[in-house]
Amino acid sequence: MATFFRRMAIRYIFLTLFFSADIGFFGRVTPFGINYGQVANNLPSPDKVLELFSNLKVTKTRIYDTNPEILSAFAKSNVEVIVTVENEMLIQLNDPQQALQWVNGHIKPYLPDTKITGIQVGNELFTNGDTTLIQYLVPAVVNIHNALVRLGIDSNIHVSTPSSLEVLQESYPPSAGSFKSEISGIMSQFLSFLSTTKAPFWINAYPYFAYKDDPSRIPLDYVLFNPNEGMVDPNTNLHYDNMLYAQVDAVTFAIARLNFSGIEVRVSETGWPSKGDTNEIGATLQNAQTYNRNLLRRQMANEGTPLSPRMRLEAYFFALFNEDMKTGATSERNYGLFQADETMTYNVGLSAFASSSSSSTSISLTSSAAHTKAASKEFQSLFFWVFLCLLNSALCGFV
């Protein structure tokens, strides 16, 4: 009898390894995020976007408001949503009662059906053109967090704000990372809030901008995650083979310089334009495909930065769609992984995650890369099923 139970226990362990959603030889699709901007007049409806996400196994997104159509459409889905407080709302949220009313009206009605996991208070306030807004940041994040606590809905929602890399005075080498002195006071207050609430520091990081501004000195392969010699930080001896990781670690060092530790740095936006004006060097479809494809591979591999190799860097791709109503340079309207009709702008490998049974989306699954990956996956599945059968037979004969 003991042998029987031992045999069943071993069989159960192996079956669990094979069929578990979180571990096993088949592995699981690592969650990754995509920014869902809406500055366009031709985008598909939110329910169609959810269908697209579902087909591609996308489980995290960030929106730039609290659009009720989106939050309602994403109810009872497995997509985690980070919402944004518009910059112009910050003065109003300086009042705790107004912050409570905002949370009551914009967040609470959608919980728990919609998985709201974060609230971004403003966007790039430290480098926004309206410098008067920055003084309202810390009171606003504190008031919103306190409102969540008061309503008993704070446990799964972090409150933070995304910053651009312009908050840094120094970023090279990464160990020299430091914040601009003129914002250090407010930054210290903000970091104190993040440290207390265990919320992440979000950064909008675009190696594209660095390359565009200095293409003669910055190797293209270094910013695109292609094989290259990289650089070694002389102070830490850490080797960097891409600029994004160096930028993230520079922010971590800047945080440490203000005597804070344990605050996770995450990337709220990163991407590459597929089209640009004549003076926007590097803004090409090929470079955009290469950057996002290589970053996706590293996200799937759960990579961390050289400074934090055991902690997966969480990064949100920018953006889901090309947004035709954005103003400014041509590149601003051409960051999307998809066109408004849901066809791919270029294939970064997302098609490998698409459900083969789904025919409702316009995504092309005909690229050679997709076929290669599909064939590989089928071979792996066949191999492991044969292995499982052999293992099961062996266990049945185990005495």
Catalytic annotation, residues: 124, 269
How many other CB atoms are found less than 10 A from the CB of residue 278? 7
Residue-by-residue DSSP string for 99-118: HHHHHHHHTGGGTTTSEEEE
Q: How many CA atoms lie within 13 A of 166 on its CB side?
A: 9
Distance CA 350, CA 205 (A): 21
How many other CB atoms are found less than 10 A from the CB of residue 311? 13
Block residue for tokens 């990372």: 177
Give the gyration radius of the chain's Cα atoms.
23
Please choose, from the candidates 62, 155, 150, the residue with its C-alpha nearest in 3D space to the C-alpha of residue 101: 150
Q: Quick check: helix, strand or coil at residue 80?
A: strand
Contact yes or no for 120/62 (Cβ under 8 A): yes
Q: Is the dihedral of CA 299, 301, 305, 310 positive or negative?
A: positive
Q: Which two tokens stand for residue 161?
A: 């704000």
Kindly give the residue spans of alpha helices, DSSP state H, lying in 198-323: 207-213, 220-223, 243-257, 285-300
Q: Quick check: helix, strand or coil at residue 33?
A: strand
Distance CA 290, CA 296 (A): 10
Residues with Cβ within 8 Å of 132's Cβ and at least 6 positions away in sequence, in order, are none
Contact yes or no for 268/201 (Cβ under 8 A): no
Block residue for tokens 């059968």: 389
Residues with Cβ within 8 Å of 86's Cβ and at least 6 positions away in sequence, in order, are 64, 65, 122
Distance CA 172, CA 258 (A): 18
Q: Which two tokens stand for residue 312?
A: 């997966």
Query: What are the angstrom distances between the C-alpha of 153 and each of 79, 104, 190?
Result: 18, 10, 21
